[in-house]
Amino acid sequence: MNPNPAPAGARPLVIVAHPHLQHSRANRAAMRAAAQTPAELRDLYALYPDYLIDVQAEQAALARARLIVWQHPIHWYSAPPLMKLWIDEVLAFGWAYGPGGTALRGKDLWLVASTGGPEDSYRPDSYNRYFFDAFMPPFEQTAALCGMRFLPPLLLHGAHHASQAQLDEHAQLYAQRLRTYPDWPELDDLECPTCAVPMGARPLQEA
């Protein structure tokens, strides 16, 4: 049971993190599509060009949501720098995880990501050396540690060379999924592992 349930009819929260959004056809198209849905959008690079994150505002936005979306390109097999800083500061010990950290428990986390390399570059016989799933455990475990379900990601590979038809299809699917959440058939089979962090896992912080 979620100890901090989102309000009835809560809107999805879309956290967009692209350091050069003006140059990204894929993420601009996805963001425009999301803006046509009931979702609440927060563009981190527009909100925090100085990298000074308003942690209370971000935590309040998370508390309002039932579905949390991280929309960003994959940078060096991970998230862009401001997205990583957002995770470091907003998903705080004692709030998002650890003893007393139950604010996100029972919510869903959905990664909507793009890659520059094509899908067939994520293979043992190509330059990325691994199937793309090999790079997902840090995202999955971040969700699990916070008590959230990690939903199957929505990926657009080869974004640099995607055709307009491919971009439109990706954006339309993204918007359709946002509009129909939580009525996704696959959610019935997804569970979140329990990752209880013991009280002594971290030194007590001074007030």
| Closest alpha carbon to 15 in 84, 59, 68, 93 | 68
Report the chain's mean pLDDT, rounded to a whole number. 92
* H or E element in which residue 137 lies: helix 137-145
Mean pLDDT of 28-36: 94
Provide the pLDDT for residue 204. Answer: 60
> Which has the higher per-residue pLDDT, 159 or 207?
159
pLDDT per position as a tens digit, 167-177: 999 999 999 99
Q: Place 23 in a pLDDT band, splitting at 50, 70 and 90.
A: confident
pLDDT tops 60 at residue 4: no
The first and second tokens of residue 90, run together, are: 């907003």
Q: What is the pLDDT of residue 207?
A: 39
Which residue in this structure is represented by tokens 């963001």?
A: 31
Q: Where are the domains of the chain?
A: 22-187
> How many helices and strands (H and E) does the chain possess?
6, 5
Return d(Cα 15, Cα 11) in angstroms, integer.
13
Domain 22-187 has CATH 3.40.50.1470: no
In this structure, of 6-10, 84-88, 157-161, the range with the lowest mean pLDDT score is 6-10
